[in-house]
Structure 1
Amino acid sequence: MRDLADGLRTVAQRAGYVGVRELAEGTGISRTTISDALTGRHVPKWETLAALLRGCDVAPDRGWRTAYEAARNAVEEEKQAAREGGRPDSGPEETAPPTAPGGTGPGTFSIRPPYGELPLRVRGRDELLDLLGSRLAASASASASGSGSRSGSGPQILFGMGGCGKTTMALHLARQARDRGYRVFWLSASTPDRLVIGMREVARELGADEEAVEAAWSGRLSATDLVWGELDAAVQPWLLVVDNADEPEWLAAESGVPGDGTGWLRSSRAGMTVVTSRVGNPHVWGHEAETHRIDVLSPLDGRDVLLDLAGEAGDPVEAQVLAERLGGLPLALKLAGSYLSRAARGAGLLRHRGSRPGGRLRSFAAYTEALGEAGAGFLDEGERRPLDDAGTEQMHRRLVGRTWELSLDLLEEQRLPEARLLMRLLSCGAPSPFPVALLHSEALPAAEDVFPAERSRRTGEGGAALDPGRADRALEALIDLSLVDVVDVGPHGSDVEQNPVPCLVSHRLVLEANALRLADGPVADRLAIWRAVARILEEGAALPPEQPANWSWWRLLAPHVGAALGAAPEDDAERVLLPLLRAGLAAFAFYVFSNSDTAEEVVRVLTERSGALGPDHPTRLSVRHRALIALPSGEEKEREYEEVLAAQVERLGPEHPETLITRHDLACFRFEHGKAPEDDTVAELREVRAVRRRVLGPDDPYTLLTHGVASQLILASDRPEAHARKCEELLAEQSAELGEDHPETLITRHDLAVSRHLSGQASDAETEAELRAVLMASRRTLRPADTYNLLIHGSLANLIALRSHDGAGGNAEYRAMIEYVASQGDHRFLPLHQRHQMAHAFDAAERWAEAEVEYRSVLDDLEAADGMGVSLYWDLTHCLTDNLTHQGRRSDAVEILDTSLTWFDDSDDARSPRCSQALRLRHKRGDLIRQDGRSEEAEREIRAVIEDRLQLVDPQDSVVLSERHCLAHTLQELARHDEAQAELRQVVSSYTQVLGPGDKRTRNAAFCLARMLHLHGDKTEALGLYEQVLEGETAAFGARHQEPLMTGFRRDQCRLDLRLLTPEDARAAFERTLSALGGVLADDHAWIGTIRQALAADGGAAGSGGN
């Protein structure tokens, strides 16, 4: 290999090339491939070698072919030698340890750990280091006892992606072992030679007979058995570290596997073996090995690493920002810190020139800024380069721009070039979860269509899709090497939701490094990748982004669309740029419909990238329309609308969906800015609605949007009489032309009925009768869940709710209305007050998911209208948190409250964290975290709420008492029973004084106090309280109601515990209560289950019946 590399460097220099970059540009071969060939790290394929030679004006003749084949054979021999423990055909002099560079002189090969590379302190690894330390101690105990115990002596595998700090962990453990008196051996498995030579030195140091060593290393004896025989027989405990074992098969015996105990990796009772590797598959390492994933550091630990290296470069806050930008990757943190440390000592004075004072980067903040401009490649300026190529492989492991390429090179050698293809594809997106569903094999190119060397190696024509079996193996290999993780992401972004979406996640620096490699590669390779990316993202954008049911998908997809659109090359507008622009338009729609602030940023990128298209290109016209949202209102904006509309009518036609979008927006713009009267606007919107209903369908989000705007204009009009006249004229025309039962005729009848009611031309009763008649006719004509039906029924339900004193009639009508709603549709075409009543109806029907959608939709609209200060917003926030709690999603409910509480920023009295709305939310939060088991935190929260509340109201206020009631339960859960009982006893006393003994809140507090005393206090007092509560509930509800029945059950349990009832009498009482409750509650109700548990327990004592 070395001879071939030397020859290639010679011809490159003779051809006038002075660097790898120039040679790559001159030959069209990637810099990675050229660097590996010139250093001897890898032998390129013959086709690549021939292209390289031709680029240097050298013919790839027979001599070069012979040199190539010799190098390839040497590689295979090295791999075979690693498996067999030596080189069968070579004498001991050929495998002697390396000497000085000149070929003579003292040996420089060492099996001692490089302690000098350890940082002053290893941050963020205390837990794992303690575990490894305990394993090390256990191995020493086993060695000292001389028993056959293997406790703690199995190989410890430290795995993770390149740069995560595996070697640092092993070094720290090695120093710890040295300090404890262990013999420590440090071997590199980066090449088969290094591993085999290192093992030979271990055997010699342990006292193996030299003749036996020579016999083993010449193939006459087993070298692996010889070494492990010496290790097992060692009296002094030892630690053996095998570093950089990224190709585990080199550790295996011939025809074996790495973890089977026959190769270089074995268990021993005399010491412990530690392996660092990028491969984490436990099946590779065997059942005796213990695997430990080494992950990235937390932001705080990353901050401390930077401060350790370059504390003079800024404050801890700036250091933490940089650590977060680097994703906590130890290698990147080391490079950045080393750069800044060297800059502080004067490095780079002559090399860096620019606008910054002094021309150098000397602070964490400046480095963060430069990293954003230059990307991941900038990090490698913190690493010193060797003056020769002897340490090239080790240097590559210390460079962010190269370390992960080593893993991809390894997989390519294993005939998995698809791994590099997948990483290049992922690098085109954002550093966020990437849905696996996008990577179906039909959408992706085969490796031979991307990498020319693969195309040459394989037979057959190009253009085939990626083989799914090979893609799966490549993805599994990437996971094993920790370059990719698989996570399940739920509908709201967490990984514990129902119906999760499998996604791939990579460290952001891994993606940035791959993106740089892609950008520097041959144009043909780059375009093949980008065409595939554009294709899969456009396919992923097929789900309508306007529908809330699809928003969980779009939350995953949209960041990748935006990132790809911003980074895509301009070489291929038709197959790269256009598909991405179309996907970008869909992403823009998602951000607009979901009320996200990201919409303006997306439209900026769309505008910038669409400039490559012609001025009248349909896609550019669509982008021009979307860009109008960022344009200040005025005549220029109206002219732009008109120009875009005229061009769309000419190029696309008057009924094209894009044309209709512009018509709708132009009508709204003119009305909002006083350039069109209300009547004309409603008429225009009705025309757009009718065309959209016919072209797109009645349930299309854009149809519903126009529908909702037109309805809102009518409802909010200050001229209902004029609307009524227009509706009468339109109704006459539609009845004559379309028929009385046509959907457009019926919806005009609805508008007319509403306008007449608003103008006082029709009474409540007359309007109700007309709306019911329209609804009956509409249901005969349209399907039950049609949007027109829901609008008409919503108007009817709202009218009835306003007429009834307690709202009961309206609630019943809303419950009847939702019977026709079959799914989580988009109901934003309905007025906001109707939608929030629908949400309550869904809650009452225990259709939790549908209620959640409606609550979130109304809250989003209130936020968009800057309505977070209104009481309805906070009422619905409470309803949403209750809804999420019913769904078992307390953490989501707490997150909603945490987000809402940020609004109370103390900027004025209404936004004070101590105002009544904020206190109500804080109390709710405290109660939720109590239910979630965080009782100590809940106590602090509730006490703080009570303290702030007492600044506003009297201590006897019912709200204060309810909060103290909640505090009592929190104290009970902390097992502070005396405090809890004392608190609740005061609450019961205050409720009795203020509200009377018969009030529901008094009864509830008294029951809870009785239960506390029953379980942890005076049972006689508890019995008296049970009797008191039972008397009040019987008077309020009757004896057969579920409330007094359950209280009676608890009273009977207490009587049993006090021996006032025999077990037989108690059982009979429980069975009577169970029978009575069975008549009023469902069989799966919690109370039914509680009584059954008590009957199943011996005697049915209080503790066996739950709480």
Structure 2
Amino acid sequence: MRGRGTGASRTEPPWGITMVDDRTELPFRTAQALVLAVCSPNIRADLRSELAECTSRPPTSTGLKRLQGELLSIFAVLERPNAALDIRTQAYLVRRWIEEQRRSRTDTPDFRDDLSQLAQTVERVARRASSPGIDDPFWLSPGYSGSADFNMGRSHFAAAAPELPAAEGTENSESLVSALRSVLLPNLILEGGLTSARSVRPPSVPGWEAITWQPEELKRLVEPPLELLPAKLHGRDSLLRRLEKALVGPSGGAPVIRFLTGSAGVGKSSVALALARTARTRGLNVWWVHGAADLINPGMLAVAASLGIDRTELAAARAGRQSLPDLIWKHLEQAGDRWLLVFDNVDDRTMLDRLLSRDSSGGAWIRPSGRGMTLVTTRQQEITARNVETELIRPLDDHDAVQMLRSLDLGGGDVGATSRLTQYLYNIPLALKLTGRQLTSVFAGVSHADYLSTLLASPMSAEPTDGDEPLRPLICILRRWQGSDETVHLPRLLTILAHFASGIPLSPTVLDASALSELGVLNPTQAADHVRQALSVLSSLGLIDLKSVDVDHGQSDQPSILLHPMISAACRESLHHASVAEQKLVRTAAAATLRRALEAQFQAPVFDWRLWFMLAPHIGSLITNLPPESPPEAISSALSAARQAMEYLARTGAYQTAEELGRAAMRLGQELPKEDDVFLEAAAAFAGVLIFREKLGDAQLLLTTVLAARQRKAGLDDALTLDTLELLAAVLRGLGKPSEAEQCLRQVIEGRCRAGNKYSAATVRAMIGLAQVLREQSRLGETESTIRSAISMHSGSDDRSAAITVGPKIDLAMVLKDTGRFEEALELLHGVIATGTKLLGPTDSQTLAARSALGATLCSMGRFDEANEILQRTRQAGEKALGESHPTTLATITALGGALRAVGRFEEAEQALIRACKNSSRVLGQAHSETINLQIGLAAVKYDTGRLSDAEVSIRQLLRTHDATLDLAHPTRLALRHFLAVLLHRAGSLEEAESLYRTVLDRREWSLGPNHPSTLGVQANIGALLHGRGALNEAMQTLEQTKAGYLAIFTSEHPCLLAVKNNIAGVLVEMGRVGEARRVYEEVLLVQERTLGHSHPDTLITYGNLAAAFHAGGQDARAVALLRRVIREYDRRLPRAHPCLLLARYHLASIYEQKGSAAAALQKYRAVLNVQAECLGEGHPDTVATRLSISRLLERVGRGQESENEYRSALWQAMHQPLPPHGSRP
């Protein structure tokens, strides 16, 4: 059997095993099958399957059973990934098995008959030897002897101790250079960004820079409004005593949720407030959460902020990646102090059921607890949940109702008239409160009897209501104002407020006097402070409540506004009966005033978080409360407000809330014409939210529709059309379609230039986006010129120009790094950091991004200690200022993981990446590109530490997750497949690895072109694989082609080019052209020592390979000296079980073995074995391989029994010991 490798310098493989047999060919056939199995994993797997079938039938001889067991044990060794199982050891395994045949024949006379079964089995498999792609390193030939020592045959190990050549530079012994293949370490090229930030850039929205969320400001949202508590609660004393008793905790049995149920206005919230006041005086924590559907999330986030929950966990909850109920309840159950949590006005039946349910959507919001009391107020009186106690609050009895009204208005006349009035008002405390306020203000001096007559005369008194009956008297009270010119603005203002969220503080900036005058709500002649006076009147009437707002430990001179849900509902119900003109005026004013308040907030020089939290919750309520028949002006203003809020919510990380608001806005916008500008702007903003959510297919469909509408209406060069096209480019980029994204961005830039906006910030932004797309296609020359052009457009000396160029200069520095111009990149980044620190602040996201880029650049230069120090500080600053889940922080951790890996601090790298993966998964999602970056980095740590199986499992899981959602040529999908091929390559699964490599190569040649660095990286690895299976000519041709491709785009000092040259030298060594190989290694080292340093991992790999070349050339002294130097560096930087360090030690031992220094070789082999056994485990593939090498050496020096013991131990461990568990390596 001849080898089918294509190396030109040999005609047959170097490791010969000659079978000498004058009686039968059976041993030859079985040995031939084993040799084939050694050479081909696929044949090995087939033969293993066939043997399993044979062994299921009881053999007639113990010899055959022993031989089959031996063969399966050898397969167990061969099938496990390892680095140290060299050709000599593989040949040793084959020879030992052949000798086992001889022993079986000697020990078992009936063995010959049984062996025929095994021969038939292996013959079937042997026929597959002609399968293409098998390049075996052995040759096996039958021979004949006239005086056979053994009847069954005997084996001869033809290359047990090859002779070294006498002079260097001559053609070397093929057996030696083939043996060196196991210690020549090829540079397998991973994706360029796997060890640095932003290997796969997440999709972004142009102009939507991230804003650091400030959850501390949320705490005010859940402060109980104790100032709204009436001086006396009539008729509720016994109920309050029962509730106050329960505050101390359950007296026995399971904890319960307490419900206060009853119709609107009966005082459920007042009872809850009274209990909250008592709880506060007893030192309990108290939180007050409004139960409206669109306010639960902000309220519960405020509770989380008050509990001091980690900001990363909060960010995950805001993004919808973690269950907010589970998060909060975990911390509530762990709270040291008792607490009271009130859910107020949970009146919607569907909402109440959802808050109580424990389904797969994330768990219940409302739960019982032994650590505190959960109290719910609701109009719903049928509560079906378990572990609840319900208190039904009824209207006051006649006596208490009369007492309450007369306490509010002492001059109302006789008690009988008061009783009739209270009965008309259903004895409802809210109606009694409003009536008492009116009787002491606008109706001062009117008796209770006359007031009742006025209400009964109202047309509304006889009209049915769609809601609760108690709304009728409230509506009558509200309509009582109408008809008076002096008070007409009061019901209008109140009805405007009714369109916002009731029970949640509303910023007074919404009711701007000039805006209300302009809209026709107020007379233009009325003073600017008229609104304040009107609010005071409404408050005195009990229709609204004014709540003071803390500002820097003081009180604001503009209190926030609160409206009772029942009054809000009554106002909207009353509006339905108003004139069409009045409805149009009020609804338009409600939407317009909120929109203007938001615009003022966003245009302010300093963003006011307190004000934002008094505006944001009301936008969703406005969208909900506007009926479809609202005037187009009102819908347009509401959509405009929603558009601004969507953008801001997304920029602060509240992706889920932003998406929910966007979907509600799109439903409301269906009433507008499809080409309405405001609707199209809102739709584009919603598409931006979908981009953040990485729902890129939905975003593309929506943007395509918006773009078509804008082109029809305004043409391609319209500013809004170009903005939409720029957004579409961001989507195409995220979908892995850089050429299409490039085309869109070029159209955007050309259009803005034609419109005279060449130097606008939007044009510069599009140019930076174009540069990033070009960089992803590795068109680095164009990338650099594009960025420099963009920077030149802001070349002014003022601070604003300098601040604007911070981001583009970071991108430029990364291009310089990519092209190997490290010093230029460093100089630029130092300047950027200085500018960012001065103008933006040391913890600004762009300043920290520049520091992260500096660390990544230093890492690429081999200055790992500096890189680690900078990246550690940047990570700490980012976690503190931006949060652990901020994209800049996560990108820094990705870069830090690469820097830690480079110096062998694998445990630190792994822990940092695991933590970052969890944060990114929770906040951004499993499918987000930043999460994938981190997961790839984590797999790379496993790859570095020899845990190839673990790494393979991780990458395959990522592929299963993303294959169905990503295009065949998507960069992320191809990067994962390429990494999987590298893992299979390292593990020795060459056929599967090559198939995967070539699939990725085809896709990249089609999508990126043949000379793209990502394409060339795959091609380089294919060359290394071809070398590994002995196809030397083909390997050399592939590597030379790759080298030429790299030279066309990179400088001669680029690390990828140096890696390919290193691999070319390895092929030269095995071809026997040792002198040429050594010169290439030395040429590579000259560059690496100057640019990367003597201790860089790539430099050390080249040193180790040069040592192999010295050994192959007969310069063992130089080889040993160089290996010792490599080992010293590895010892200083790497843990003692690092694969590179162990391989270098193994290489040194093998040189001593071939020099004939058996004692020294054995000592060094055992030193390697001891570390492997302790740190990797006895059953680890590398441990098994080293033990077999020791067995082989012991046999050569005549220590047969020790050799046999080591051999049997290795096979037993391979058969019975699993790979070490995840994380077991240092």
Greater Cα radius of gyration, structure 1 or 2:
2
**Superposition TM-score tier, normalisation by shorter sequence:** 0.3 to 0.5
Structure 2 length normalisation: TM-score? 0.32
TM-score w.r.t. the length of structure 1 is: 0.35
Q: Which has the higher contact order (CA 8 A, sep 6+)?
A: 2
